[in-house]
Amino acid sequence: MQHLRDGIQTHVTVKQRYDQMVEAGSIRFDPAQQEVVSALDRMIVEISVKRLARKSSALGWLFAKRRAPEPVKGLYVYGGVGRGKTMLMDMFFELLPVRRKRRVHFNDFMADAHDRIQKHRQARKDGIVKEDDPIPPVAKALAEEAWVLCFDEFSVTDIANAMILSRLFSALFSLGVVLVATSNVAPRDLYRDGLNRQLFMPFIAILEANAAVLNLDADTDYRLEKLNRMPVYLTPPGPDTDRQMDEIWAVMTKGAAAAPTTVTVKGRQVEVPLAAADAARFSFAELCGRPLGARDYLALLGRFRTIFVDNVPVMAEANRNEAKRFILFIDTVYDHHARLVISAAAGPTELYVARRGTEAFEFDRTASRLIEMQGKEWLEDFDERTLQKAV
């Protein structure tokens, strides 16, 4: 069914939106995505019924004396990079007729939860609250803000997150929260080989009991297929280069909403000016003009598989600090075998013009690595490693 809003035809199901994009040539029809499309539409219907049930009582269905509707079972979609998970999540989130919904990167959500837990503990220490256990009140506050949670890139790598997930999500699910998540790995592979993983295992059972699990096993990584035909080092600067960078970003983040975010490093927040899916974008000034160090770059590469850097200038002795950070950043990208898309004022061997100091010597290695990362062999190896990581 379709309806008109402000004279514009809109779609009310994920299938309608998906079919329209196929007809328009924006995407190719993929049978592997159809089961996910159907599951998302099923959830929209069930969540809408639950929302109406809530509204039918002045106090909400949670507090009504009559029997509450059956809880809505969430959805956990996993598959390789570029399989369309984020695109489908975007469609679902946009079409979901719920006001209290939240779309957030899983790591950002957990950072928020830890902050709330710490504030509760401090409030308990100060005598402001009486409850010793911070999990129930934190879960209640989160559920009141959003009872449909959509997580992109669900991944558990932090032991602090792993240790509280079972209790936190048990509380959230008991309050009627519905989870929709995308991930590169199946639930059974979350926090694999992690420290004290046996303490994390109960969460997997809780997750599988409260969310249907679907494997989006598409045959083609559409982003990489297109991106491999595009340059990854663009020069000279100018409107054409800026336009190309925007085009490559659009291909790499197809279907994903882009927004600023932060990465937590030892209690500090490193600002990411623009992020979508597994890609982040910085200007040279934002990446190397700020006092960032090895830990910061490591954290960024632990979170993002592709980094875009705009407007790298030619550097001289006056830019030694920026050059040092750029050298460190490129070393980190190289060591993590990530993908780098860059626009620069000159080719790799002409980016540092000072002849004195250790930076001049070290930049020879940086230039060599920048050249290597443009090569077909590097990019094909990146694709292979990305797919292996997703399996």
The DSSP bridge partners found for residue 233 are 342
Least confident interval from 2-11, 264-273, 294-303, 311-320: 2-11
Asked if pLDDT for residue 205 goes beyond 70, the answer is yes
pLDDT of residue 8: 36
Distance between CA atoms of 133 and 115, rounded to whole angstroms?
A: 14
| pLDDT cut 90: percent of the chain above it | 42
198: domain CATH number is: 3.40.50.300
Please, which pLDDT band fits residue 193 given cuts at 50, 70 and 90?
Answer: confident
Of the residues 215, 231, 248, the one at which a domain ends: 215
Q: Write down the pLDDT at residue 250.
A: 85
Asked if residue 318 and residue 210 are part of one domain, the reply reads no
Out of 150-154, 284-288, 306-310, 373-377, pick the least confident.
373-377
Task: Name the pLDDT band for 96 (thresholds 50, 70, 90).
Answer: very high
Residue 28's pLDDT band (boundaries 50, 70, 90)?
confident
Average the pLDDT over 31-38 and give the result.
87
Distances 228 to 46, 120, 154 between C-alpha atoms, Å: 41, 49, 26
Both 56 and 160 in one domain: the answer is yes
Report the CATH number at residue 273: 3.40.50
Residue 382's pLDDT is 61
| pLDDT of 113 over the 80 cut | yes
Cis peptide before 236 (omega within 30 of 0): yes
Segment 328-376, tens digit of pLDDT: 999 999 888 888 999 999 999 999 998 777 787 788 889 988 998 888 7
CA max distance for the chain: 80
Cα(29)–Cα(17) distance, integer angstroms: 12
Residues 167 and 239 in one domain: no
For residue 189, what pLDDT is reported? 85
77/171 same-domain check? yes
Looking at the fold, whether 300 and 183 belong to one and the same domain comes out as no
Tens digits of residue pLDDT in 244-259: 999 888 888 865 778 8
**341 and 386 share one domain:** yes
Q: Does the pLDDT value for residue 9 go beyond 70?
A: no
Residue 305: phi and psi, rounded to 5, are -90, -20
Q: How confident is the model at residue 56 (pLDDT cuts 50, 70, 90)?
A: low
Answer yes or no: are the C-beta atoms of 266 and 296 closer than 8 Å: no
Same domain, 203 and 331: no
Q: Is the model's pLDDT at 308 over the cut of 90?
A: yes
157-186 pLDDT per residue, tens = 778 888 899 999 999 999 999 999 998 888
Q: Would the pLDDT of 243 be above 70?
A: yes
Q: What is the average pLDDT across 259-279?
A: 90
**Which of 186, 215, 244 delimits the end of a domain?**
215
Are 189 and 250 part of one and the same domain?
Answer: no
| 313 and 191 share one domain | no
Average pLDDT over residues 216-224: 58
199 & 278 share domain: no
Residues 227 and 290 in one domain: yes
d(CA 88, CA 91): 5
Q: Are residues 226 and 210 in the same domain?
A: no
Last residue of a domain, one of 161, 180, 215: 215
* pLDDT above 70 (res 62): no
Exposed / middle / buried, residue 366 (Cβ in 10 Å: 0-12, 13-18, 19+): buried
In which domain, by residue range, is 184 found? 2-215
Which of 18-32, 37-51, 143-157 shows the lowest per-residue confidence on average (mean pLDDT)? 18-32
Distance CA 157, CA 21 (A): 35
- Helices 106-125 and 159-174, axial angle in degrees (round to 10): 80
Residue 277: count of CB within 10 angstroms of its CB: 26
The predicted structure's pLDDT at residue 115: 93
For residue 225, what pLDDT band results from cuts at 50, 70 and 90?
low
**Which one is predicted more confidently, 286 or 107?**
286
Res 49: pLDDT: 84
What total of structural domains would you count in the chain?
2
Q: What type of residue is 245? A: M
Contact 79, 387 (CB under 8 A): no
62 vs 143 pLDDT, higher one: 143
Banded model confidence at residue 127, pLDDT cuts 50, 70, 90:
confident
Residue 64 has pLDDT above 70, yes or no: no
